[in-house]
Each structure stands twice: as structure tokens, then as C-alpha cells.
Amino acid sequence: MTGLRWGILATGGIAHAFTEDLRLAGLDVVAVGSRSEESAQRFAEAFGIPHAHGSYEQLVADPDVDIVYVASPHSHHMRHAALALQHGKHALVEKAFTMDRDEAVALRDLAADNGLLVMEAMWTRYLPHMVRIRELVASGALGEVRVVSAEHTNALSTDPAHRLNALGLGGGALLDLGIYPISFVWDVLGEPDEVRAVARFGDTGADTELVTAMTHASGAVSSTVSSLRTLGPNTAHVLGTEARIDIDDRWYMPTSFRVVRHDGTVVEEHVSTIEGRGMQFEAFEAERLVAEGRRTGEILPIDETVAIMGTLDEIRRQIGLTYPGEA
């Protein structure tokens, strides 16, 4: 490890989860920034963080911070990540990376111009069971992969003011939940050749349910389901001509999976036994890349993050979803 000193930008639920995992892993969290001094102080006291800042500007200016974890709402990722990069800090930016592809390109280019790492915090990709799944697919253990399916559904707040339902904050199923299965499909099958999407909308205009069907260069097909209003089994499947992978409940978190042949024989079973939620693994990767003097990695290259945002743009175009301020 490089011993990078982490600063946490924003103090919501995802920031708590990330910081708890970094603490469990023994990584160095030195500062937190919030829009209010009181919120920053509470967060700092909860995690034993030495520096609490009452503004994001103070956080990114802190000379003891090397890398900033951006945990603000989607609508603010671009501005807050740019703020960190402009102050010479590397940035790990919560998914979805930005609101659209243009913002993602701007962040990628700003980081490159300043010789800094900017990375999407799609933490699921770095989990040990996902690493093993990629190995199995690459080895040909499944034969030819023909179908990938995944869902991310939950019964979440219906409060119109909640960020999940507020269009001005990038609320809706796509950016908060749909990014997980869509990124997973990209991970296994690569960029889609064709995208089809349908959605249902809530009273605020945010998408509450989203379904996608995509084709890929290999000829494989994929499907994803996302919902803010109902809880499903949250499983994922990779189907090949020789065997399949069944990933269990909450496939996007540390969980179990099986490799099953067509005759029902289970040829491999994986059970995750890691400590915490598993968000430390993306932090390990960020630290490794910085230590090696690299500004992008293999698991989720920044150019792939940009391209995935392009897929989300196309989905939004098809379902007629626009955010405030867009044409």
C-alpha cells in the first residue's frame, strides 16, 4: 500500500459505509468535509478522523489529503470531483460517475491534464467473487457466453424530497440502481451494439422502474431490471453453452455463486467471507494504481466509465428522461 491519506467529501449513508470499510482495512482516513461544520464534526467523531471541515473547499485544500472520495449526490459529482482534481488530489467518484457522458469526458481529461487518478467507485467490480467470475468467463469454463441477466431492485423511500426521487439530484432507478447491472453486463460482455429500454416513472418524473435489453459484438444478449419501488431476488446469471454461473441474493455485494453444468452438476461454489461491505477493495485498487504511477486500471478503465455513461445517455434518450437544465 502507498499509505495514501483519504479525505471524505460528504457525510451521507454511502460515505459512512465506505469509511467504515476503510477503517476495517486499516487505511488512513485523515479528513472529512461537509456543507456544515456540525455534520463534519459528527462524522469525524464517529470514525476518529483528525480533520473536520465545514466546506468541501476546505477539504480539498487540506495539505494532509492525497485522495478524495466523492460521495455527494450524482448531480454534484462533476463539480466536486473537479474541485478535488484542481487542488491536486486524486479522486474516487461514487457511481454513477457523472450525470452524462460529456461530464465524464471532462473529468477524465481534467485528471489527465493534471497527472492525477480519477476513478469510478463501482465497488462491486473489485469484490473477490467478481474477480473469480471474470477468471471463469475468460478461461472458457462456461463455453460460449450467450446470455447475461442481472437485477437491482429495492423498496425505497417514496418521499418526493428524497434524493432518490429528486430529478435535480439525479434521482431515479437508472443512476442509483441500474448502473450496477448495466456495468456488470459491460464487464462480462463488453459494449452493447444495440440498446433497448423501457421505464415507468413516478410523480416527480424520476424513473422508478427500468428494463433494458442489449445485444453485444459476440452475439450474446443481456437484460437488466431495476426498481426503486419493489424488492426482487436481486440475483444475476451468466449463461454459457457448457455451464452457467448463478450469483445469489444481492449479487452486487459480497455473496455466493455456483458454476453449474447443464446436467445440474455443481463444479465450483464460492462463498464470500470478507470483512465489512467490501468497499475497501476499490480503495486498494486506487492506492495500487497511484503507487505504480498509473492513472487508470484494467478492472474498470476510465475510458470504459466514460463509455458506460454513453450507454446511460442512450437509455435516457429512449425512455424520455431528462434532468433539470438539460435541453
Q: Per-residue confidence at 326, pLDDT binned at 50, 70, 90?
A: confident
SS3 of 76, please?
helix
In the chain, what percentage of residues exceed pLDDT 90?
A: 98
Q: Give yes or no for residue 327 having a pLDDT over 90.
A: no
Alpha-carbon Rg for the chain, nearest whole angstrom, is: 19
CA torsion sign, 83 to 86 to 91 to 94? positive
When the pLDDT of each residue in the chain is averaged and rounded to a whole number, the result is: 97
For the chain, the straight-line distance linking the first and the last C-alpha, in angstroms and rounded, comes to 45
Instruction: Write phi, then psi, for 180 (nearest 5 degrees).
Output: -65, -60
| Mean pLDDT of the region 216-228 | 97
Q: How far is CA 250 from CA 4, 254, 300, 310, 316, in A?
A: 30, 8, 21, 26, 25
Among the listed residues 32, 30, 1, 28, the one whose alpha carbon sits nearest the alpha carbon of residue 15:
32
pLDDT at 1: 40
| Mean pLDDT of the region 209-237 | 98
Burial of 284: CB neighbours in 10 Å, binned 0-12, 13-18, 19+: middle
Q: Give yes or no for residue 2 having a pLDDT over 70.
A: no
Domains and CATH numbers, the chain: 5-121 (3.40.50.720), 128-273+309-319 (3.30.360.10)
Residue 139 amino acid letter: S
For the question of whether the overall pTM of this predicted structure is more than 0.75, the answer is: yes
The region that residue 72 occupies, defined by phi over 0 for left and psi between -120 and 50 for alpha, beta otherwise, is beta
Angle at 130 between CA 128 and CA 134, to 5 degrees: 120
How does pLDDT run across 86-121, given as a tens digit for each residue?
999 999 999 999 999 999 999 999 999 999 999 999
Strands (E), 45-139: 51-53, 67-70, 90-94, 118-121
Q: Give yes or no for residue 162 having a pLDDT over 50.
A: yes
Q: Give yes or no for residue 127 having a pLDDT over 50.
A: yes
Grid cell at residue 138: 475468460
Contact 38, 15 (CB under 8 A): no
